[in-house]
Every structure is written in C-alpha cells, then in structure tokens.
Amino acid sequence: MYGSTHREITAVIAKKIINFPSEYILPLCTNSESPDTIPDYEKQTYITAKGKIGTKKVRVRHHGTPYRIIRGYVLNARHYWLRDNKRKGSFRFAGRALHYIQDNFVPSPSYDKKLHDSIERGASYLNPEKFIQEENFEISIGKKETFRKIGEIKPFTDIINSLKNATKFSYIIAGSIFSSIFAPQNFNDIANKAFNKFKEKTGYILIYSIVLLLSVIVFSILKKEIGFISSIPSLVLSVMGLIIIISKDINLVLRIAQKIDIIVISSALCYIGFISYDLLTGIIQLPLFLGYYFSFFWFSNLRKIKGEVDWYIWKKD
Ligand SMILES: [Zn+2]
C-alpha cells in the first residue's frame, strides 16, 4: 500500500479507539509507514550446492508476512502499553504491526503485479473512514482472540474488500493493543481463584520444593557434573515454586506460573535425551520433576487464563 494509505487508515482508526491519547496519533501514523523505508530482516536457512546448510539475511515480506512477525510486534506493543513509563515504545511496535496487517490485505505483486498495483492505486482514492461508520466493530479482548484475528488476515482481489478489511482488522487489533491494561472482571476472577489455589497448597509446594532441592544435592554428589546439570530444571522449578508461595503479588505469581510451561517442555525434552546418556539419572529425575509440575501447575483455572497473563495487569480481590 502507499505510505499515504497506511497513514490515513491508521489516523482514522486511532481516532476511533476509546482512550487513545490524541498526541500519539502522529507517531503511530509515522510508524505505520516506516517498514517501507526502514525494512525488517530475518534469517533464512538454505541448502548450498554442496549440500551444506547456510543462512542469509532476507527482507521480511510485506505480502504473505509470517504471522509470527506480526504477532511479535503486537505483543511487544502491548507489553510497552502496560508499562506507564514506557508507553512511547508501544507506538513504534503497533505502527509497524499495522503496516504489515494492512499490506497483507493486498495481493502480492509477485502473484499478480497488475492486480496489486491497481488495488493500491484504487485504495489511495477511497476514504477508509466510511468502513468504520458502516459497520459496528467490536474491539477484541485478550491475547488469544487478538492472535486468532491475525491468523485470519488474507489478501482480497478487489479494492473495496482490501481496504475495508485492512481498516477493520487494523481497528480491531490496535483497539485490543490499546484497550484497558486491567484484566476484564471475568478473567480477573479466574486469576484470583488460581492465585488462591497456590496459597492453599503452600505447605505441599514447600515440601516438594525441598525434596527437589535435596535431589539436586544428592545427584550432584553421586553423579558429579552430570548430576548437577540434569538437576538444573528441578532447581529452577523449586525456586519458582518457593517464590510463588512467598510472594503476595498476583502479577508476579501468574507470570512465573505462565513461564513454567516452556521450562517444563524444554526440560522434559532434555531429560528424554538424558535417559539414553545416563539411564538412572533420567529415570529418577524425570518423574520427580513432572510430578511437581502436574501436582501444582496443572489445574483448570490456571490453564484458562495462562495464555492471557502477560496481556494484562491483574488485581487481587
Ligand atoms: Zn509495505
């Protein structure tokens, strides 16, 4: 899309977003144009003529952009928006996300150059504002829903639908980024139930954390370096568990609980590798470690809100 179209769509939607500070409309618009002048690059792997794997830097495509790039910008924008003193950073990320969102509603020039050019030209004559007045848009709430919307972005082969959807999706996604920093009541209630569940289990978590710490010591003595290295996940989990039971801060507790998943998945994969390396270490450590995770970090209220944790600030009841 033309730079002017990006700016116009962005200005129109920013004005319609409730509570969007008017002094930030300009920086948001400027950033919505920026990927054309300051491009993004990503590493791509390829196989050389000799059969070796090489990497090269390539420009991120503006048509058929990988969704993970748009999601990354959206998530960063939201994270900056949540932090009072860093809000300005939010407009850079959100602006760049909007650029890719808008471009992706236009077919790629490599697919059909004539069609691409005619849609870009046609869109520059239309006023995106009418697409917001015509429809009743709803601001999506939450990270999961916002990411689902990004997954729905696709090109249209006519001017009206390209511009209409570029405007509509820009509005929904930016509206979600700049929505209230506090979790909606229904999410917040579930989060409090999850927080209280941790507090109910304090004694058990403490005992199990101590058992995990002891296992780290025992394995380090028995198996030296291998024992210690293989115990690192248990060490990390027990420390996280201890912070969860000591802390009174619901945001800290939820954020730790959210991060545990990725630690458990990557560690479990490492352990499976360890089993072939040192059978005894793997066989004893793996159940101990998984047992801890499934006993304390696998319950329905936590699972319901886990994906949303870093999208909001949470309040304790
Ligand atoms: Zn572009």
Please report the DSSP string for 290-307 in residue order.
HHHHHHHS--HHHHHHHT
Residue 81, amino acid = W
pTM: 0.89
- Ion ligand 1: protein residues whose beta carbon lies under 5 Å: 36, 62, 103
How many angstroms is it from 52 CA to the middle of ligand 1?
A: 33
- Which range marks the domain in which residue 210 is found? 185-311
> Does some domain include residue 133?
yes
Same domain for 56 and 128?
A: yes
Give the end of a domain, one of 121, 154, 177: 177
Same domain for 210 and 290?
A: yes
Same domain for 193 and 167?
A: no
Same domain for 44 and 11?
A: yes
> Does some domain include residue 290?
yes
Same domain for 81 and 201?
A: no
Q: Answer yes or no: are the C-beta atoms of 201 and 209 closer than 8 Å.
A: no
How many angstroms is it from 45 CA to the middle of ligand 1?
A: 24
> Does some domain include residue 30?
yes
Number of compact structural domains in the chain? 2
Same domain for 79 and 211?
A: no
Same domain for 263 and 282?
A: yes
pLDDT (tens place) for every residue of the chain, 317 residues total: 999 999 999 999 999 887 788 899 999 999 999 999 999 999 988 888 888 888 899 999 999 999 999 999 999 999 999 998 888 889 999 999 999 999 999 999 998 999 999 999 999 999 999 888 766 666 767 999 999 999 999 999 999 999 999 999 999 999 999 999 999 999 999 999 999 999 999 999 999 999 988 888 888 888 777 777 777 888 888 899 999 999 999 999 999 999 988 888 888 887 777 766 677 777 777 888 888 899 999 999 999 999 999 999 999 98
How many angstroms is it from 177 CA to the middle of ligand 1?
A: 21
As a residue count, the chain comes to 317
Q: How far is CA 100 from the centre of its chain?
A: 16
Q: Does the CA dihedral 226-230-234-239 come out positive or negative?
A: positive
d(CA 120, CA 137): 24
Tokens of 216: 């780290």
> Does some domain include residue 317?
no
Q: How many CB atoms lie within 10 A of CB 92?
A: 18
How many angstroms is it from 100 CA to the middle of ligand 1?
A: 7
Same domain for 203 and 62?
A: no
How many angstroms is it from 99 CA to the middle of ligand 1?
A: 6
> Does some domain include residue 257?
yes
Give the end of a domain, one of 177, 212, 236: 177
Interior angle at CA 254, CA 217 and CA 309, nearest 5:
135
How many angstroms is it from 136 CA to the middle of ligand 1?
A: 28
**DSSP H helix total and E strand total for the chain:** 13, 2
Q: Answer yes or no: are the C-beta atoms of 49 and 68 closer than 8 Å.
A: no
